[in-house]
Structure 1
Amino acid sequence: MTQTARYDRSWHWDEGDDRALAVTRALSLDAIETAGSGHPGTALSLAPVTYLLYQKVMRHDPADPDWPGRDRFVLSCGHASLLQYTQLFLSGYAVTVEDLAHTRRWGSVTPGHPERGVTPGVEVSTGPLGSGFATAVGMALGARRERTLLDPEAPAGTSPFDHRVYVVCSDGDLEEGVSSEASSLAGTLGLGELVVFWDDNQISIDGPTDLSFREDVLARYEAYGWHVQRVEFRSLDGEYADRVDLLDEAVRRAEADPRPSMIAVATTIGWPAPHAAGTAAAHGAPLGPDEVAATKHVLGLDPAASFEVPQQVLRHTREALERGRTWHEDWDQVMQQWRDREPERAALYDRLRSRHLPDGWRDALPWVEQTESAAVATRAASGKTLTALGRGLPELWGGSADLADSTKAWMPGEAEFGTDGGAPGLDRRLIHFGIREFAMGLMLVGMSLSDLTRPFGGTYLVFSDYMRGAVRLAALQAAPVVFIWTHDSIGVGEDGPTHQPVEQIASLRTVPGLDVVRPGDANETVAAWAVLIERHSAPTGLILSRQALPVLTEGGADLIDQVRRGGYVLDSDEEPDVILIGTGSELQLVVRAAQRLRDEGVRCRVVSMPCVEWFLAQDESYRATVLPRRVAARVAVEAGVPDTWYRFVGTEGEVIGIDHFGASAPGPELFERFGVTTDHVVAAARTSLRRVAEQADRRSTRRG
């Protein structure tokens, strides 16, 4: 059996499917009533779509949710989570009827919205509308990249790396701008791996969707370059039917088309609830016991029974386990044939799956010689490192939001996805995301979810605000993506306050699970890349300067180990009187200030802290060796909102930062006018030393 057999579906819809679909709807109602909250409307009316996908269309193995050969399913309208949970249970995933009964409860594997890593079979955390859609575009792009990297010559439909991404979305998903960003790029890149079902039910929380949403959606998607179709569950005379036959025909046409596909499914929300169907009230609240009983009666089920699953229904739907086993076995054969045919690519695949790095990969790191005249922008150092590492690490891929030359988030000479869609057979790794920062962020998450590759994406730091929802979801899912954010401070200069990040760094550090790395020179940048390449447990925000910075460190393995700890002693006198902490472009200020203070007889320690999160993850004994408690005189410097640093300087310390927006003027002038200078660091150190001395005098007086 070849991979092409997956498209030769021959099935018929029988009474067993009707009965199972009725049970699906009843289970959703029971779970929502028991929880006392939830979204029954879409879980009722759209149940035929997810049932068809899990039982008739998708290639998946419920016994092995992480099987690499599976198709992927994304429920972008995550509020309708019972749509997916019921199918996972009925198909034979490790979700029980008891789990359905504990929906939205503490410790349940069936939370209010789908969460990756919580529910077996859930591919991605969804809920914020539009986010699942955009992430799925990234998943489809990831499928394309892996296919062209590992099996580029195989005819379409014959490779073990061929799979599709199926998405169910709502009106709300399509109203969110991020879905438009992602859809536009998906059409441009010709991502035929993507099939989207839009629940066109014409109802939102506030009432009819035409209160705010009247466009011709399919015309819009056709303009994006998508293949579009419409399936009517809702007829003109008011009759309603689950037209799974028409839906399956539409899916087959979508799979045969090389473009991404949008299938509008015209439904009546809440159908077949006799009173709630077609109303806004069906969207986001339990229907109540009377309406639930009435709906079960319409479905031909016992109105008094809850969570009832007849054995004949379970036997019918659990046939998915046998289909999954067969698909899996067939895929194993095709995979072995590929291994025999492509031993070098098979070795690469095994390395990527195990997350091992090749021997000697660090030899490519482009360290910069430390000289008095050396000055390199950290964005430039990052770009050179990315390019150098990329030659030996094909798992690195990504691009920039129309700023490749500025962000250096690029690999010159590598092949690019373009208007021809990056067709199979062409190993492309660079993406022009366009001016779509939010979509880029979510696509990076989707690109990373197979765990085979390490995607990156770049834009200016000030535009990280546009990406905030994506950054949060990356952290929530521990997606190992690299957000490259350049032009990191008022050093942007003449572009003015709209382009000068002030509050962004401190704000990003509040995101749980996000590592924010702001290297102080070229070699710290190289070392930071070395560290994050070895880390797979969290997203990283790499924050880089536009302006050239002096090279303050010596490259090598020791620096990598120091940067890995987040903060380290760059330079220190014995028994220091004051500690000066610097990060990013301001590290040079504390280095110069230390020399000035030493000329005055003050013993100094210079601490570089490129990553607060990595430093705080160290044990207390290490942190104490870097910041000994006995040295109370401290100064921390960063050209941004200073909130991060008060925990490190204590009550006697000083923080130099910027607590207001910038201005339009040359960068050096702004640093001078806003007081982020060597002179101000020296003055702050004197103030802290004086404060510590006065405190000591007061203690001495009290003892006397």
Structure 2
Amino acid sequence: MANTDISPNGWRDPLDLEAVRHARILPLDVVQAKGNGHAGTAVSLTPALYVLFQEYLRHDPAHPDWEGRDRFVLSAGHTSLSLYLQHYLSGYGLELDDLKKARALGSLTPGHPEWGHTPGVETTTGPLGQGVGNAVGLAMSARRVHALLEPDVEPDAGLFRYRTWCVAGDGCLSEGVSQEASSLAGTLGLDGLILVWDDNRISIEGDTAIAFTEDVVGRYRSYGWAVVEIEDAEDPAAIRAGYDAALAVTDRPVFIRLRTRIGHPMPTVGGTAGAHSGAPGEDEVAATKVALGLDPEQFFAMPQEALDHARRVRERGAAAREEWQGRYDAWRAAHPEQAALHDRMRHRDVTPAAREGLAALRAQPQKAATRIASGAVLNGISAELPWLWGGSADLAETNNVAIKDARSFTPTGYAGDEWPGGPDGTLVHFGIREHAMGAVLNGIALAGYSHPFGATFFVFSDYMKPSVRLAALMGLPVTYVWTHDSVGVGEDGPTHQPVEHLWAHRAIPGLDVVRPADWVETVDAWSRALGSDRPTALVLSRQGVPVVGDAVPAGEGAVRGAYVLADATTTPDAIIVATGSEVGLALQARDTLASEGIGVRVVSAPCLEWFEEQDLAYRESVLPRAVTARVSVEAGTGTGWHRYVGTNGEIVSVEEFGASGAGDLVLAERGITAEAVVAAVHRSIASVRSDEKERNAR
């Protein structure tokens, strides 16, 4: 590095140097005192982030949710202290005591940044590379919202056209999700997106050359990004020059290579894997303080004058917000229609016309695959809900999310004839990038103007799962359209036939997994998902299914998670619980059993999460404890059905992979038939009677 000494050269004020010198020691004091944590990257990134937060980032620490702010994403979430330091210095409400409590239960400074927990944190990060995808989604939202609300205004002058800054490390750029997302961003030419790569060439296992040797800068150029290189992360003038060069780019995303030495200026541990995590040792911390010209006997030190100086950024932020607010008020007065659209998007209002459209679709059910029903919903209400947008991982027409006459989300001037569009488009073409799609959807939702959706085959939801988990962790309004839901997929064979996926996703806290039985339940599922503040997975069939729920009132069917679809004339002898296409089999089995004098209740259970939210009285009315002869039927593994069928219950499920052949034949081959359900009911009733006989004999 050209300049390895800390000096006042390049700083605007000697107090900036004082703030930086003391701030970069704080992570070392924190981690040394706790005995665990990640200090090294926070130490070496302090100068670059200080310049960013003090001079470039548009933000108001007193109003961290200000609509006109830039977004900052720390993709390398393990270096959370990097972010907490800047929030402390900028006056977001964090104080030294909060830094001392880093990683402690209940603190405002958890081990990785958590959205909704610490003011100013834009997204939950930690799984490496996810933040890059989030940043792409945030930038996509900024472009689309600007195009919808201020179509005649240059982006730089727009009220809603914030910049998205993202800091990523070697680990983030090694992960496939960041590569997928960066490729998409380059294709879209996402101006306003600036990705800063902390190029320190160190990971937990040491020098990254053991596993990470590609030309990263060349890779980003090949994606279509502009590239800026900052060779000295210790030189404020070089940092400013790099940021200025990035801001000058207006037609594509910018990749900044920031060359750092991890832990600098730690004399022994710096530049090694030892700086990545763990306590550096008292001697190393003391030596680093000496290298910075600080007293090695002082701990958690920050001169009040330097802190007060740094927190003057709040004045700049307040002035920027006040100026923005004035322009915003004038815009609302001059453009009432667009202001009304802005309000609808912020609140994700479902208009009366959209509700009427949903009701009309529900009242005219068709025998069709549930993916077809889902497509009818999107086509029927999309024009009324500009905040509902998304797309597919190259399967739009197969997943039935290709909305007729809707514009695609493309760069301005895109010349393709097959998918006409522009920056205001509704349909996103994610390409074959499921993992990036999941992370991008989270970013779009975090921007606050949208309820995004993303589609692929259900079996490929595995590629998305880390992002889905984070959506559930954050409680984001995202809808997943996962089609081709079982071994009923047929000829594509076991590689494309999901088996374990339903229960794998039901195991994610905060994710609503909905497998509707027919057209009606699909419309109801969409109706509830549109008003949800948490992610919803719609798991939809490839094959056609009969209409079964048309006689059930809208508020009493799928929206309650499970409900009585068909009942016995008296107290039932047994209950069959089914989901999706197997509800039709349950009804066939009920008819057969009725001819044998056995009364059966059929419960359709499209969403167990919604059912568990109902009160005890309702759940008892659907699944009365007195009826212990129970059978579940679902074309997937039976992993969690024991909870609902009990010790006398039977589970009709698929406990091995599928097979290649026609869907109906594969279902039969794997035991998903009405006859199998009938036999299971007989076994369950026999088990109940055996237990009763044993109890009576005691």
Q: Tell me, yes or no, whether TM beats 0.5.
A: yes
Residue 374 of structure 2: which of 382, 400, 403 is its match?
382
Cα distance, 1:631 vs. partner?
A: 0.8
**Hey, what does 1:491 align to over in structure 2?**
488
**Hey, what does 2:564 align to over in structure 1?**
569
What SS class does the counterpart of residue 84 from structure 1 fall into?
Answer: helix
Cα distance, 1:591 vs. partner?
A: 1.0
Letter in 2 for 1:418: T
Letter in 2 for 1:696: E
Letter in 1 for 2:656: H
* CA deviation string 1:520-540 (max 9, x = no partner): 00110011000111111x111
What SS class does the counterpart of residue 551 from structure 1 fall into?
Answer: coil
Cα distance, 1:351 vs. partner?
A: 2.9
What SS class does the counterpart of residue 401 from structure 2 fall into?
Answer: coil
In the alignment, structure 1 residue 253 sits paired with structure 2 residue 245: yes
**Hey, what does 2:130 align to over in structure 1?**
131
Cα distance, 1:420 vs. partner?
A: 4.8
Distance 1:216 1:617, change over 3 A: same
Cα distance, 1:14 vs. partner?
A: 2.2
Q: Percent identity?
A: 49
Q: Distance in 1 between matches of 2:125 and 2:446?
A: 13
Q: Distance in 1 between matches of 2:38 and 2:85?
A: 14
What SS class does the counterpart of residue 263 from structure 1 fall into?
Answer: strand
Task: State how 1:224-235 maps to structure 2 within 5 Å.
Answer: 224-233=223-232
**Hey, what does 2:323 align to over in structure 1?**
330
Q: Distance in 2 between matches of 1:370 and 1:266?
A: 62
Q: Distance in 2 between matches of 1:406 and 1:302?
A: 66
Report if aligned partners of 2:410, 2:422 keep a CA contact under 8 Å in 1.
no
Of stretches 630-639 and 32-41 in structure 1, the one that deviates more from structure 2 is 32-41
**Hey, what does 1:683 align to over in structure 2?**
679
Of stretches 540-549 and 570-579 in structure 1, the one that deviates more from structure 2 is 570-579
Cα distance, 1:266 vs. partner?
A: 1.0
What SS class does the counterpart of residue 434 from structure 1 fall into?
Answer: coil
Report if aligned partners of 1:189, 1:422 keep a CA contact under 8 Å in 2.
no
Report if aligned partners of 1:368, 1:555 keep a CA contact under 8 Å in 2.
no
In the alignment, structure 1 residue 318 sits paired with structure 2 residue 299: no
**Hey, what does 1:481 align to over in structure 2?**
478
Q: Distance in 2 between matches of 1:346 and 1:562?
A: 37
Residue 361 of structure 2: which of 341, 348, 367 is its match?
367
Cα distance, 1:262 vs. partner?
A: 0.4
* CA deviation string 1:584-609 (max 9, x = no partner): 11110001111111122211211000
Q: Distance in 2 between matches of 1:444 and 1:351?
A: 19
In the alignment, structure 1 residue 417 sits paired with structure 2 residue 413: no
In the alignment, structure 1 residue 274 sits paired with structure 2 residue 271: no
Q: Distance in 2 between matches of 1:76 and 1:275?
A: 27
Residue 642 of structure 1: which of 638, 644, 665 is its match?
638
Residue 448 of structure 2: which of 445, 448, 451 is its match?
451
In the alignment, structure 1 residue 633 sits paired with structure 2 residue 633: no
Task: State how 1:184-195 maps to structure 2 within 5 Å.
Answer: 184-195=183-194
Report if aligned partners of 2:638, 2:655 keep a CA contact under 8 Å in 1.
yes
Q: Distance in 1 between matches of 2:488 and 2:164?
A: 43
**Hey, what does 1:618 align to over in structure 2?**
614
Residue 656 of structure 1: which of 641, 652, 655 is its match?
652
Q: Distance in 2 between matches of 1:118 and 1:391?
A: 35
Cα distance, 1:409 vs. partner?
A: 2.2
Q: Distance in 1 between matches of 2:573 and 2:676?
A: 18
Q: Normalising by the residue count of structure 2, what TM-score does the alignment of the two structures yield?
A: 0.95
Q: Normalising by the residue count of structure 1, what TM-score does the alignment of the two structures yield?
A: 0.94
User: Number of matched residues?
Assistant: 681
Cα distance, 1:216 vs. partner?
A: 1.0
Cα distance, 1:12 vs. partner?
A: 6.1
In the alignment, structure 1 residue 83 sits paired with structure 2 residue 82: yes
Distance 1:173 1:619, change over 3 A: same
Task: State how 1:18-37 maps to structure 2 within 5 Å.
Answer: 18-37=17-36
Q: Distance in 1 between matches of 2:172 and 2:640?
A: 35
Q: Distance in 2 between matches of 1:425 and 1:445?
A: 22
**Hey, what does 1:5 align to over in structure 2?**
none
Cα distance, 1:66 vs. partner?
A: 0.6
* CA deviation string 1:521-560 (max 9, x = no partner): 0110011000111111x1111100000000111178x234
* CA deviation string 1:179-222 (max 9, x = no partner): 11000000000111110110111212112111111111111101
Q: Distance in 2 between matches of 1:457 and 1:32?
A: 40
Residue 606 of structure 1: which of 568, 592, 602 is its match?
602
In the alignment, structure 1 residue 524 sits paired with structure 2 residue 521: yes
Distance 1:564 1:691, change over 3 A: same
Letter in 2 for 1:263: I
Unaligned runs of 5+ in 1: 1-10, 234-240
Q: Distance in 1 between matches of 2:445 and 2:191?
A: 19
Q: Distance in 2 between matches of 1:64 and 1:290?
A: 40
In the alignment, structure 1 residue 597 sits paired with structure 2 residue 589: no
Unaligned runs of 5+ in 2: 1-9, 416-420
Cα distance, 1:454 vs. partner?
A: 0.3
* CA deviation string 1:419-459 (max 9, x = no partner): 65879984212110000000000100000002221000000
Distance 1:561 1:361, change over 3 A: farther
**Hey, what does 1:436 align to over in structure 2?**
433
What SS class does the counterpart of residue 198 from structure 1 fall into?
Answer: strand
Cα distance, 1:369 vs. partner?
A: 5.8
Report if aligned partners of 1:523, 1:551 keep a CA contact under 8 Å in 2.
yes
Q: Distance in 2 between matches of 1:539 and 1:218?
A: 35
Q: Note the aligned Cα RMSD (angstroms).
A: 1.7
